[in-house]
Amino acid sequence: MISASLPAAEKRSVALGMKRGAALRCPNCGEGHLYRKYLKVQVCEVCGNDNTRYPADDAPPYFTILLVGHLVVAPMLFFPWIWQANVWLVLGTVMPALLIATLALLPVVKGAVVGLHWALEPRHAVEEA
Ligand SMILES: [Zn+2]
pLDDT value, residue 3: 47
Predicted confidence (pLDDT) per residue in 59-97, tens digit: 999 999 999 999 989 999 999 999 999 999 999 999 999
Distance CA 51, CA 98 (A): 29
How many Cα neighbours within 13 Å face the side chain of 70? 6
Distance 3 CA to ligand 1 centre (A): 10
* Segment holding 129, helix H or strand E: none
pLDDT value, residue 123: 62
Distance CA 45, CA 58 (A): 26
Is the pLDDT at 9 greater than 90, yes or no?
A: no
Distance 111 CA to ligand 1 centre (A): 13
Distance 80 CA to ligand 1 centre (A): 48
Predicted confidence (pLDDT) per residue in 14-24, tens digit: 999 999 999 99
Contact 3, 11 (CB under 8 A): yes
Residues β-bridged to residue 25: 33
Distance 64 CA to ligand 1 centre (A): 25
Mean pLDDT of the chain, nearest integer? 88
Average pLDDT over residues 102-106: 97
Better-scored residue on pLDDT, 66 or 10 = 66
Closest to 71 in 3D by CA, of 111, 101, 36, 34: 101
Which band of pLDDT confidence, cut at 50, 70 and 90, is reported for residue 1? very low
Which band of pLDDT confidence, cut at 50, 70 and 90, is reported for residue 12? confident
Distance 101 CA to ligand 1 centre (A): 27
Distance 100 CA to ligand 1 centre (A): 28
